[in-house]
Amino acid sequence: MKQLDNIKLYLLDMDGTVYLENTLLDKALETINYLRKKAKIVFLTNNSSKSATSYIEKLHKLGIDITSDEIYTSGQATCEYLNKHFKNKSVYLVGTKALEDEFKEYNIPLNDTNPDLVVLGYDTTLTYEKLVKITTFINQGKTYIATHPDINCPATPYYVPDIGSFISLIEKSTKRLPDMVCGKPYTIMGETLMNRFNLKCDEIAMVGDRLVTDIAFANNNGFLSILVLSGETSLEDYNNQDKVKADIILDSIKDLLNK
C-alpha cells in the first residue's frame, strides 16, 4: 500500500481498534509486531482519568508488551502543552488522583485557591465542591483548558458521562466554553506528538474506529487517516455522512499485515 511508504509513526486507538473491552481483536498482536518493524507505534487515548501506567498494565494483561514511550494520553498532551505555553503557571485541576500525579510528574504547580488557569479532566471523582471552584475561577476570567471533548465514555450496559458532558454543564453555569481542548480531534495533541517524535504530519498515520475523534483528528492535523470498521463505525455509517473522510478504510487492523 503505497500510502504507507512514508509513515514513521502509527498512532493506534485502543478500544474498537486493537481490542473490544477486554478481548484482543483477531491478529491484533501480530499486526502490532509487524508495524513495529516498519515504524514507531503509539497507543493513543483521550481518556484522562487514567494514567499511562494503567494503560500499559491493561495492554500487558492482553498480551501486548509496550514501553512507556508507546502510550500517550490526552492528560500527557495537556501537561506538555502547559509546560510549553504556560511554564510555571499554577493550575486548578479537576481530575482524578491519577491525573494529579501525572501533573506532578511534569512539575506543574497545582493551586486550589488562586490559580493562574484551570484544567478540566475526565474526573470520575467529580464533586459539587470541585464544580463550584472551577466555575468560580472560570467566572473570574481564568484561562480554561480541557483535556479532551468526549461527551460519553464507552461502558456497559450504557455509556457514562465523559468530560464533554461536564463542559456542557459548566457552559450552562458560566456561559464559557474551554479556551483550548487538547485531545482528539483537535490540533494540540497532534502538535505535541509531532514535537515529541520530531516528525512531520505526513510521516504519521492515525488508525481508529471513530470518525469524530480518530479520523477527524488525522484530518485536522494532516496525518494519514485509516478507518477500521471493527468498532463504532460501520461502512454504512461512513457512507451516510460526508463531513469526515478517511484515506484508507479497512475491515480491521489485521488488514495492515504485510502492507
Fold exhibited by the domain 85-181:
Rossmann fold (3.40.50)
| Whole-number Å distance between alpha carbons of 87 and 93 | 16
pLDDT at 22: 85
Phi and psi angles of residue 42, each rounded to the nearest 5 degrees, phi first:
-140, 125
pLDDT at 77: 96
| Whole-number Å distance between alpha carbons of 128 and 109 | 23
| Whole-number Å distance between alpha carbons of 135 and 172 | 10
* CA 230 remoteness from chain centre: 19
Considering Cα of 63, then 68, then 13, then 223, what sign does the dihedral take?
negative
pLDDT at 64: 94
Cβ burial, residue 24 (10 Å; 0-12/13-18/19+): middle
pLDDT at 155: 79
Domain 2-46+184-256 and domain 85-181, same fold? Reply is yes
pLDDT at 202: 96
DSSP for 43-78, please give it.
Answer: EEE---SS-HHHHHHHHHHTT----GGGEEEHHHHH
Q: Crossing angle, helix 163-174 and helix 128-139, to 10 degrees?
A: 50
pLDDT at 259: 75
CA angle 41, 73, 81 (to 5 degrees): 110
Distances (CA, A) of 82 to 76, 114, 144, 188, 215: 10, 17, 12, 11, 25
pLDDT at 21: 81
Q: What is the pLDDT along the chain (259 residues), one digit of tens a residue?
A: 788 999 999 999 999 999 988 899 999 999 999 999 999 999 999 999 998 998 999 999 999 999 999 999 999 999 999 999 999 999 999 999 999 999 999 999 999 999 999 999 999 999 999 999 999 999 999 999 999 999 998 877 888 999 999 999 999 999 999 999 999 999 999 999 999 999 999 999 999 999 999 999 999 999 999 999 999 999 999 999 999 999 999 999 999 997 7
| Whole-number Å distance between alpha carbons of 145 and 147 | 7
Q: Which three cell numbers stand for residue 206?
A: 492515525
Q: Which three cell numbers stand for residue 221?
A: 492535523
pLDDT at 153: 87
The residues spanned by each domain of the chain are 2-46+184-256, 85-181
Fold exhibited by the domain 2-46+184-256:
Rossmann fold (3.40.50)
- Dihedral over alpha carbons 154, 155, 160, 161 (to 10 degrees): -30
Q: What is the DSSP letter of 143?
A: E
